[in-house]
């Protein structure tokens, strides 16, 4: 096969859907795994605002159920990322990526601040619109080549994937949280509650790295 991400170390088969661990995908998988473990064990921050012109500060209080919900969504986002990193099926990849999009919205949805919720909502609209090119890309890959397996598509004998399918795939992933739509997330990062909020940016980075591999592989 076309060894963009190194020789696969081992394959995990679920019927005809094969997850593969090459040095590249394994590294990304471990990164998502380690950060998910951090999210589980770490204690959330207390965000402090310094009041200018006075010797005072405001501590933002966040209720425990809210933090629990956010931690749950951050762990779900980590799981979706891990899936997107190692899956060997184009359609599964698009599903995992849109799952990452929903989880990103979910992480900040519990924040009781209007502008954060509004930013999350607008970003969610972009993410929802992003599923159109994502699923279209997977469907066109299946229609032109007859398979969705990345391992089969990577072999030199496989029929060529049309450029439009790759372009739609990249466009769809962009909609789920990469630049330039990433700008819509800026207000979301201001939400109190690190390290959970950082999962939003880490997941974007990871799916960006993986989609480059997928596009080069096809």
Partner 1 sequence: MAWNEYSFGLLVVFLAALVGFMALARERDDLHKLLLVDLVEGASIAVIALLGTDLAEALILPGLVVGIAELLALSQLYIAKEGLAGVPPRGLNIEVVQKSPATVIIPGFLVVYGIVLSGFTGGGIAALGLVFYFMSHRFLGDFHVLELASGISWALWVAAFFVFMFAPAFWFLALMGAAVGILLKVITKISLVGVMWGEAE
Under the binding rule (CB under 8 A), the answer on residue 131 touching partner 1 is yes
| # binding residues, partner 1 (CB under 8 A) | 32
139 interacts with partner 1 by CB under 8 A: yes
What are 58's strand-pairing partners?
49
Strands 56-59, 48-51: pairing kind = antiparallel
User: How far is the C-alpha of 98 from the C-alpha of 79, rounded, in Å?
Assistant: 13
Q: Closer to partner 1 at the Cβ: 36 or 117?
A: 117
Query: From the CB of 133, what's the least distance to partner 1, in Å?
Result: 8
Which range binds partner 1 by CB under 8 A, 3-11, 137-145, 149-157, 198-206? 137-145
- How far apart, in whole angstroms, are the C-alpha atoms of residue 66 and residue 182? 24
Q: Which residues contact 56 (CB under 8 A, 6 or more apart)?
A: 50
Query: Segment 7-66, which members bind partner 1 (CB under 8 A)?
Result: 14-15
Please tell me whether residue 138 binds partner 1 under the rule CB under 8 A.
yes
How far apart are the two ends of the chain, measured CA to CA in Å? 11
Omega prior to 20 cis, within 30 of 0: no
Pairing between β-strand 48-51 and β-strand 17-21 as defined by DSSP bridges: unpaired
Separation between Cα atoms, residue 107 and residue 177, nearest integer Å: 14
- Nearest distance from residue 143's CB to partner 1, in Å? 6
Residue 195 makes contact with partner 1 by CB under 8 A: no
Q: Is 99 in the site for partner 1 (CB under 8 A)?
A: yes
In the complex, the smallest distance separating the C-beta of residue 91 from partner 1, rounded to whole angstroms, is 6
Binds partner 1 (CB under 8 A): choice among 62, 74, 105, 206:
105
Work out how close the CB of 121 gets to partner 1 at its nearest, in angstroms, rounded to a whole number. Answer: 5
Angstrom CA distances, 149 to 48, 164, 206, stand at 49, 18, 21
| Interacting residue ranges for partner 1, rule: CB under 8 A | 14-15, 91, 95, 98-99, 101-102, 105-106, 109, 114, 117-118, 120-121, 124-125, 127-129, 131-132, 134-136, 138-140, 142-143, 148
């Amino acid at each position: 096969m076309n060894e963009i991400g190194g020789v696969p170390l081992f394959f995990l088969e679920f019927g005809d859907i094969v997850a593969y661990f090459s040095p590249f995908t394994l590294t990304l998988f471990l990164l998502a795994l380690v950060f998910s473990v951090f999210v589980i064990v770490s204690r959330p921050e207390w965000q402090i605002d310094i009041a200018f012109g006075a010797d005072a500060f405001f501590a933002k209080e966040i209720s425990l159920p809210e933090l629990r919900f956010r931690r749950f969504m951050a762990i779900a986002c980590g799981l979706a990322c891990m899936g997107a990193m190692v899956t060997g099926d184009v359609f599964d990849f698009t599903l995992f990526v849109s799952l990452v999009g929903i989880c990103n919205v979910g992480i900040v949805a519990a924040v009781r601040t209007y502008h954060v919720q509004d930013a999350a909502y607008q970003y969610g609209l972009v993410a929802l619109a992003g599923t159109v090119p994502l699923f279209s890309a997977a469907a066109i890959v299946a229609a032109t080549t007859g398979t969705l397996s990345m391992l089969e598509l990577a072999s030199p004998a496989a029929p060529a994937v049309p450029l439009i399918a790759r372009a739609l795939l990249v466009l769809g992933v962009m909609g789920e949280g990469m630049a330039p739509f990433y700008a819509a997330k800026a207000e979301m990062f201001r939400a109190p509650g690190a390290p959970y909020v950082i999962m939003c940016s880490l997941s974007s980075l990871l799916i960006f790295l993986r989609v480059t591999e997928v596009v080069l592989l096809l």
